């Protein structure tokens, strides 16, 4: 398959037109948010658009279909994925974008793959897609705290990610839901990075005694 990123965008966008209308509207709302964040953080809008059109290509697939597609694409399927196969829709979409649509941009693929759970280390593009997916207009109506996270994302992407992860942690505890190990590890690392003193000078001189 030949063509540059614009050709890839058009092919992926065309593929999305076969998906449910509600899902297409969601992706359109995510694109609005993602392009706004891209302008704020100087992220290439074409790469943002490609990742956005592709991130939910298989969100409407059935649980059985997702497990089958994941295994066929060589995506690791763990016990938590079998318990909640919807978590596979990002990894499956990334694998399909690479294999069928010739997307070779590692950051675009990472943004698609990790937009549901996050990852401890994420490129800027992936942070933009994850946050745009969480704060789009419909989700702000469902969870008003997303309005604050949306505003924060324009000042500090990393802190916005941490605030979203904290909200997710509270939701999981409130409803008795399991925390996925990948997300839990990512949140722990975001907490460490935010609250640590890695980038700060020591408050007291370091000596052999301390």
- Counted domains in the chain: 1
DSSP codes, 50-100: HHHHHHTTTTTS-HHHHHHHHHHTT----HHHHHSGGGGHHHHHHHHHHHH
**Model pLDDT, residue 99:** 96
User: Which residues neighbour 159 within 8 Å (Cβ) at sequence distance 6 or greater?
Assistant: 152, 194
User: What token pair was written down for 195?
Assistant: 């609250």
203 within a domain of the structure (yes/no): no
How many residues are there in the chain? Answer: 210
The closest alpha carbon to 58, from 12, 102, 104, 103, belongs to: 12
Residue 11 CA to residue 101 CA, distance in Å, equals 7
127 within a domain of the structure (yes/no): yes
**Model pLDDT, residue 194:** 82
pLDDT level of residue 1 (50, 70, 90 thresholds): very low
Residue 172 CA to residue 183 CA, distance in Å, equals 12
The closest alpha carbon to 4, from 35, 57, 46, belongs to: 46
**Model pLDDT, residue 198:** 46
**Model pLDDT, residue 193:** 84
| Radius of gyration for the chain, computed over Cα atoms and rounded to the nearest angstrom | 18
Chain segment 105-161, per-residue pLDDT in tens: 999 999 999 999 999 999 999 999 999 999 999 999 999 999 999 999 999 999 999
The closest alpha carbon to 127, from 92, 164, 181, 95, belongs to: 164
55: Cα within 13 Å, side-chain hemisphere: 32
- Is the separation of the CB atoms in 189 and 120 below 8 Å? yes
In this structure, what CATH number is given to the domain that contains residue 181? 1.10.3210.10
pTM of the model: 0.89
**Model pLDDT, residue 202:** 53
**How many Cβ atoms sit within 10 Å of the Cβ of residue 209?**
4
Residue 61 CA to residue 15 CA, distance in Å, equals 14
Residue 14 CA to residue 146 CA, distance in Å, equals 30
**Model pLDDT, residue 137:** 97
Segments forming the whole domain that contains residue 30: 5-195
- Is the separation of the CB atoms in 50 and 108 below 8 Å? yes
207 within a domain of the structure (yes/no): no
Chain segment 26-82, per-residue pLDDT in tens: 999 999 999 999 999 999 999 999 999 999 999 999 999 999 999 999 999 999 899
């Amino acid at each position: 398959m030949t063509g540059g990123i614009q050709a890839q965008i058009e092919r992926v966008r065309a593929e999305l037109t076969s998906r449910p209308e509600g899902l297409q509207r969601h992706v359109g709302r995510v694109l609005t948010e993602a392009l706004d964040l891209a302008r704020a953080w100087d992220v290439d809008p074409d790469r943002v658009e490609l990742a956005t059109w592709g991130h939910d290509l298989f969100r409407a697939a059935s649980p059985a279909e997702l497990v089958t597609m994941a295994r066929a694409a060589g995506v690791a399927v763990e016990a938590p994925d079998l318990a909640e196969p919807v978590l596979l829709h990002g990894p499956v979409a990334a694998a399909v974008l690479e294999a069928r649509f010739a997307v070779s941009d590692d950051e675009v693929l990472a943004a698609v793959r990790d937009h549901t759970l996050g990852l401890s280390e994420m490129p800027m593009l992936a942070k933009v897609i994850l946050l745009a997916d969480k704060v789009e207009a419909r989700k702000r109506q469902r969870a008003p705290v997303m309005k604050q996270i949306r505003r924060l994302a324009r000042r500090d992407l990393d802190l916005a990610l941490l605030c979203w992860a904290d909200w997710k942690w509270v939701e999981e505890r409130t409803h008795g839901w399991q925390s996925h190990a990948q997300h839990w590890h990512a949140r722990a690392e975001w907490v460490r990075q935010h609250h640590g003193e890695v980038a700060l000078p020591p408050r007291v001189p370091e000596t052999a005694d301390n």
